[in-house]
Structure 1
């Protein structure tokens, strides 16, 4: 007699296979496959903005059938992020009629990618915009006071992304920006000066046409005011500076693309929320030197591991500047390079 045999067969219940409960397969009986549909009928579009999981996408830009549609990200994209400026492929209802929803199934190759991190120790990047080719940095001459270090960080991010930076100084009727601008004398940086009496709209518009320009700036510097003047009907919310803290209030809460039009053609303004910090934990310092093409050529003579900072021994760039090889502008360009590189220390 085995240990489970009671010896009383009459009292033992009888079982057969039909009494066994089989847990249903909730995933269904069809085997999974890694083969994805090709979506040969997909249409192309450009993401204009993102709002709570919904994407505003422009299809057939500049064509006879140009339309803006609403789309969601397809499940096959998994964790791939879709950001303003992305060129995407869409399927489903792409008519753009009210109440319709298309699906984004592919993200095109990105030519540029503007990123930032939470701080300099955080290597997790946060994508701001894709495929922009210019960055307009908006700074106030006063109220709030201009922050050189923040502008430096914008410049580093632009150089790292391969984006051409531009600089607009607002509120010049409140303070003279000359001293502030000396910090950037060594850079090939177009500068626009704006005041309450005169905004350089014609000059800025001319340089926006044919480009996708991302606008960045500290809260309260007048970025939204500038955007509204450049793009009538944009209706971007305008904030005020706190008289106690000297800080601006966040008004633009999302990144959005706005079309700029004049006789020379069209361009795009990509307005972003104001920020008070701009982490560079994801940036490779070598990409900063690459933005100074004349200095990068000389740097090839530097010893391995040269930081190009003032305390760097045998730096070929420093020696060339001291020898006058780069003329009067050499010192200013070296100062700008060293200040940007110092942001990583």
Structure 2
């Protein structure tokens, strides 16, 4: 058996990188289909090699986390990319990514692009107030990405956000050797064309890290994957934490109740209104989930 790190999956083939950074093309054992599990990018796996150097994925080692959309495992960092405009920032989408990250135990950060077209100050203020690290990435000179590079060092990271916000463009600035494809925003539809067709982890040798450029998302995609139950949602908004134990009633939904400490904090300006609006929308979604759907 050889242990390795799964860096790409496409068309039923799995590409596994060994500790010496040799990549082996593999197929998966049929037993995974019977168990209704599949290896995903980011998995630590055990493989067997045949005489021709082709591999078979035999074991998926325990995961510390995984997400379904995109299919990735063992992430340390989720970099949520949002443009200031073209397309306009969708706060609900950003907040759902953030909530999902918190739920999965993945550290989220927000990267803001296209600040040359419009001021990023409002979006930066909202999310710094909520307790997240925020970087305005497109204003940096090519030689001045030190802070972001240190953030990525030694980690497995995914870059995600709505299509057209500049994920691939930023990664190309960060690591030009990747030469990831980019596409312009469709003026008719107001969104970008998908330019990433599969999930793949790219190793950045100088930072000893792996980054994934993932396909674009839509609100519809987000509504279908990685369900957060309404009872758990309050713990996915980190700025609620200081107030949760002070609510008058056990099982408070933090939406309308009298004596709710979260709503009091909202009224006092300690919680951003847009964040609470996203929470309420996600709570209403979660209320509609039927037990059989889980």
Distance in 2 between residues matched to 1:215 and 1:323, nearest whole Å? 34
Distance in 1 between residues matched to 2:240 and 2:89, nearest whole Å? 28
Report what 2:26 is aligned to: 71
Q: Is the 8 A contact 2:160 2:216 kept in 1?
A: yes
Q: Is the 8 A contact 1:159 1:287 kept in 2?
A: no
Q: How many angstroms does 1:114 deviate by?
A: 2.1
Report what 2:18 is aligned to: 59
Return the match for 1:340 from 247, 257, 279.
279
TM-score, scaled to structure 1: 0.73
Return the match for 1:107 from 60, 64, 68.
60
Aligned length: 277
Structure 1, gaps ≥5 residues long? 1-41, 117-126, 325-329
Higher helix share: 2
Report what 1:223 is aligned to: 167
Question: Does 1:90 pair with 2:47?
Answer: yes
In structure 2, the CA distance between the partners of 1:175 and 1:333, relative to structure 1 (3 Å rule), is: closer
In structure 2, the CA distance between the partners of 1:322 and 1:204, relative to structure 1 (3 Å rule), is: closer
Return the match for 1:205 from 145, 149, 166.
149
* Aligned 1:286-297 pairs, distance under 5 A: 286-292=231-237, 295-296=240-241
Report what 1:36 is aligned to: none
Which secondary structure does the structure 1 equivalent of 2:72 belong to? strand
Return the match for 1:267 from 194, 209, 212.
209
Question: Does 1:308 pair with 2:254?
Answer: yes
Q: How many angstroms does 1:224 deviate by?
A: 0.6
Structure showing greater Rg: 1
Pairwise CA RMSD: 2.5
In structure 2, the CA distance between the partners of 1:298 and 1:222, relative to structure 1 (3 Å rule), is: closer
Report what 1:44 is aligned to: 3
Q: How many angstroms does 1:174 deviate by?
A: 0.5
Structure 2, gaps ≥5 residues long? 285-294
Return the match for 1:133 from 76, 81, 99.
76
